[in-house]
């Protein structure tokens, strides 16, 4: 299911997270105060870009916070990230909130937000995991752009209940594990709804693969 996601901060972490989320079919809006950085992101066209202060309620309304599913504060300022999340949750109590922290002892922020991330240690993919939730998770930062994903098959998805040999995955896809995670997937492996599978995916086909497995 595609999520409506607001990311506060268009630096390296915010930009990489926005690009990954866009590849996975989500609707992403990035709020960034630096005009030059906004222009650079707009040239890449990975998300909707809003120039402004994400802690400003008017800017959050412009980003349609009341209809969004997730707000992620990914700036380099933990206090600002926390403030953005707390303000957003006041405007939309159903939001999932994710805040970037600068050091491990700031994990107590989780009493105020749903999840914290420390991307300096783990990379932007970990931030994406927390933004998306539990159904699709990147298992490793691999050299290059290749993603190793653990995906839960959704009931009603086009590939659900089918054997691998009958599913037309795009080139650049390799289903690695069986649903018990103990065997290598085989042509006769069935993609059972509710079960999780480990898949290697090239970035250009992530959206197509997730559509097959998640709908």
pTM above 0.85, yes or no: no
What local confidence, expressed as pLDDT, does residue 23 receive? 82
Q: What is the DSSP letter of 169?
A: P
For residue 154 the two structure tokens come to 């959704």
Cα 114-9-95 angle, rounded to 5 deg: 30
Q: Could you confirm whether domain 4-133 is CATH 3.30.365.10?
A: no
Q: Is 43 helix (H, G, I), strand (E, B) or coil?
A: helix
* Per-residue pLDDT tens digits of the chain, which is 215 residues long: 789 999 999 998 899 889 888 888 899 999 999 999 999 888 887 789 999 999 999 999 999 999 999 999 999 899 999 999 999 999 999 999 999 988 766 667 778 999 888 866 556 667 777 787 767 667 655 545 677 888 889 899 999 999 999 999 999 888 988 776 778 998 999 999 998 888 888 877 888 888 898 87
Rounded CA separation 83/31 (Å): 14
Q: Is 2 helix (H, G, I), strand (E, B) or coil?
A: coil
- Domain definitions of the chain by residue range: 4-133, 140-214
Please name every residue paired with 197 in a beta bridge, in sequence order, or none if there are none.
151
Considering the domain 140-214 in this protein, what is its CATH number? 3.30.70.1450
Fold equal for 4-133 and 140-214: no
């Amino acid at each position: 299911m595609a999520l409506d996601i607001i990311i506060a901060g268009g630096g390296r972490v915010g930009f990489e997270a926005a690009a990954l989320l866009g590849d996975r079919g989500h609707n992403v809006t990035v709020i960034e105060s630096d005009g030059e950085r906004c222009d650079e992101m707009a040239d890449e066209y990975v998300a909707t870009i809003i120039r402004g202060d994400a802690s400003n309620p008017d800017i959050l309304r412009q980003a349609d916070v009341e209809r969004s599913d997730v707000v992620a504060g990914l700036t380099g300022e933990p206090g600002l990230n926390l403030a953005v999340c707390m303000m957003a949750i006041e405007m939309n109590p159903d939001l999932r909130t994710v805040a970037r922290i600068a050091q491990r002892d700031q994990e107590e922020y989780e009493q105020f937000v749903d999840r914290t991330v420390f991307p300096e240690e783990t990379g932007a993919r970990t931030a994406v995991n927390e933004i998306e939730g539990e159904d699709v998770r990147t298992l490793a930062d691999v050299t290059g752009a290749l993603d190793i994903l653990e995906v839960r098959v959704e009931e009603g998805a086009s590939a659900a209940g089918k054997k691998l040999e009958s599913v037309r995955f795009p080139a650049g896809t390799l289903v690695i594990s069986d649903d018990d995670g103990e065997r290598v997937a085989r042509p006769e492996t069935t993609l059972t709804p509710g079960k999780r599978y480990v898949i290697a995916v090239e970035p250009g086909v992530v959206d197509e693969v997730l559509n097959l497995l998640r709908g």
